[in-house]
A = this chain, B = another copy of it.
Amino acid sequence: MIVKKIGIIGLGKVGQAVLESLKKYSSLVARRSAVKIEIKKVCDIAAGKKKLASKFSLDFSSDPFELIRDPEIDIIIELIGGLEPARKLIIESLRRGKDVITANKALLACSGKEIFSLARGLGRRLGFEASVCGAIPIIKSISEGLVGCEVRKIYGILNGTTNYILYKMAKENIDFSSALKSAQKEGYAERDPRLDIEGTDALHKLCILSYLCYGVWPEFKKVYSQGISKISLLDIVCAKDLHYRIKLLAIAKKEKGFLDLRVQPTLVPIEHPLASISSAYNAVYLDTQPAGELLFYGEGAGGVATSSAVMSDIVSIASSKQNLIRREEKVVIKNIENIKGRYYIRFMACDRPGVLADISKILSARNISIASVTQKERNKEKFVPIIMIIHEAREKSIREAISEIDRLKVIKSPSQIIRIEDL
């Protein structure tokens, strides 16, 4: 039996769930893995959490450094989130010879390079299974299960809040703000939902997957990221008519030394498994060699689900000899302007002759060709939607053409542009 003494910093929702799960399942873990997990001390800067610690008969401190300095603690589990003081606490823990487990995707996206290189230099282990897709063992699957694989493409639904909102809009024919309210009511969205709906949370996780698959920490502020707040019910309905669903996808594609990374609302063919990911679930689709296509699906957030990932990390640290080493590959991150793709465009235009000719002229001047056009309503009095599918074209050309089209008097700007991925 290997005994691992842990210290937990942060007793919020996730921290509490980890305490519950360890209480409930640590005998199961010991039986299966021969690793005995002992909680040496727990910490929260809110001194009131002492009560919670007492409930579990655990030693409590409101000073994280008391845990970090404790020579008996083998593993520090950081569950406070945010950039500082989390970064400082993790770095100090590593320096003091402790292994670290963290669920902090924002911190890893910003400071992953520094933290991983420090851990590697000191021969320490870092567990971060909980940082991407909660309960799905995606970190272990990629780093160990697919250790011999090249990952050519990643398509991830990495944020449950946005998936819930898009799912609700499509299912119940409601607009964005009603769906957001429902998400907040159900506890799937924060009161300030920007981190989720603007795509930042998904981007944080994409950065971690990029490190895992390609050894590259992208400068996350430079990666293109677009949220879902501008997706209207009209777009969801029109996409459905064309046999697509709109999903917020985190995308990575590696080709000839170039890496295309982005987070954006995307039209996904309705029969693809990613299109059927419902509610607040997460999923990661991988196109690999030699393992082929893979999809992983499960609960992406919530303390209870996340606690499974934390237990797995503890056992991994206790029972394997080393972190898998990643060497940075020579990949250049592509500028989104140079990315080619197919697009869905929705114009709101006056319903009169000549409009389509004006639009087509501007597109053809930039060598952009139209795959299909649909005008659903007829109404001479007001602006009506014109839905266009564009053959493969460069993002930059599309954006330029649309901004020119949006200046036409017959167009109620701004037009909607959504990328199509023919998975």
A316 near B21 with CB under 8 A, answer no
How many chain-A residues does the 8 Å CB contact rule pick out? 60
Q: Mark A116-153, 1 if CB is under 8 A from B, else 0.
A: 00000000000001000001110011011111111000
CB distance from A1 to the nearest CB of B (A): 10
Is residue A372 within 8 Å, beta carbon to beta carbon, of the partner chain? no
CB distance from A285 to the nearest CB of B (A): 9
Residues of B within 8 A of A33 (CB): 147, 324-325
A319 near B322 with CB under 8 A, answer yes
Is residue A85 within 8 Å, beta carbon to beta carbon, of the partner chain? no
Best-buried of A26, A293, A295, A325 by chain B (most CB within 10 Å)? A295
A311 closest partner in B (C-beta): B148
Is residue A193 within 8 Å, beta carbon to beta carbon, of the partner chain? no
Residues of B within 8 A of A326 (CB): 32
Is residue A267 within 8 Å, beta carbon to beta carbon, of the partner chain? no
B295 near A291 with CB under 8 A, answer no
Residues of B within 8 A of A97 (CB): none
A298 closest partner in B (C-beta): B294
Cross-chain contact of A273 among B148, B273, B311 (Cβ < 8 A) = B273
A30 closest partner in B (C-beta): B325
Is residue A9 within 8 Å, beta carbon to beta carbon, of the partner chain? no
Q: A26-B148, A34-B325, A137-B144 are in contact. List 12 more A-B contacts (CB 8 A).
A: A33-B147, A135-B294, A137-B141, A144-B315, A149-B308, A273-B273, A273-B277, A273-B297, A292-B304, A295-B295, A295-B296, A319-B321
Closest 7 CB pairs of A and B: A137-B145, A148-B311, A291-B308, A320-B320, A135-B291, A295-B297, A294-B298
* Residues of A in contact with B (beta carbons under 8 Å apart): 17, 21, 24-26, 28-29, 31-34, 129, 135-137, 140-141, 143-150, 271, 273, 276-278, 281, 288, 290-299, 302, 304-305, 307-309, 311-312, 315-316, 319-322, 324-327
